[in-house]
Amino acid sequence: MDDVVIARALHVLAVVIWIGGVAMATTVVLPAVRRGDLGADRLRAFQAIEHRFAWQARTAVIIAGLTGFYISARLDLWERFASPQFWWMHAMVCVWLLFTVILFVAEPFIVRRHFETWAIAAPEVALAWLQRAHWALLALSLITIFGAVAGSQGWSAF
């Protein structure tokens, strides 16, 4: 079972780096950028930080996904997906899917092009929207982490 223990440790490490970074971006970087504390060119300030973090987040998403599916397969946990008691298993897959689409499809191909145009035309509105989107993703991720840690120890909300 050493392989499952190691997979779980890597899973949690990836989640810490990834969601920790989302929390930092949401609660520290974005408010500072919006106030202009990191320079008058707010879009450039945000992108300088977000582009560097995006690679860490992409790597962490791949590791969390691979290890998560590995543990599920090794322990044959698939039937959990048929039970609402294991809502946190569904939540993990949903959060993972959401970030996979955002980081690998939306961010490089859609957001970068359209968001830049929007942020130049209406920086206040665009940055406010960006912060709201980050808060929504962070809240979903934190609920999922709470549910996964408590749920894997046998706690059930239902």
Could you give phi then psi for residue 134, rounded to 5 degrees?
-65, -40
Shortest separation between residue 28's beta carbon and ligand HEM, angstroms: 19
Stretch that binds ligand HEM, among 30-38, 48-56, 111-119, 145-153 (CB under 6 A): 145-153
Q: Interface with ligand HEM includes 156 (CB under 6 A)?
A: no
Of 32 and 93, CB closest to ligand HEM: 93
Stretch that binds ligand HEM, among 4-12, 30-38, 43-51, 113-121 (CB under 6 A): 4-12
Following DSSP, what letter does each residue of 6-58 receive, concatenated? HHHHHHHHHHHHHHHHHHHIIIIIHHHHHHTTT-S-HHHHHHHHHHHHHHHHH
Shortest separation between residue 69's beta carbon and ligand HEM, angstroms: 5
Paired tokens of 7: 């997979």
Shortest separation between residue 12's beta carbon and ligand HEM, angstroms: 5
Candidates 57, 84, 141, 158; binder of ligand HEM (CB under 6 A) is 141
Q: Interface with ligand HEM includes 103 (CB under 6 A)?
A: no
Footprint on residues 13-72 left by ligand HEM (CB under 6 A):
15, 19, 64-65, 68-69, 71-72
Candidates 46, 87, 96, 115; binder of ligand HEM (CB under 6 A) is 96
C-alpha 66, offset from chain centre: 15
Instruction: Answer for the pair 21, 49: CB distance below 8 angstroms, yes or no.
Output: no
CB-facing half-sphere around the CA of 2: CA atoms within 13 A: 0
* Residue 40 DSSP one-character state: S
Burial of 143 (0-12, 13-18, 19+ CB in 10 A): middle
* Footprint on this chain of ligand HEM (rule: CB under 6 A): 8, 11-12, 15, 19, 64-65, 68-69, 71-72, 77, 92-93, 95-96, 141, 144-145, 148-149, 152
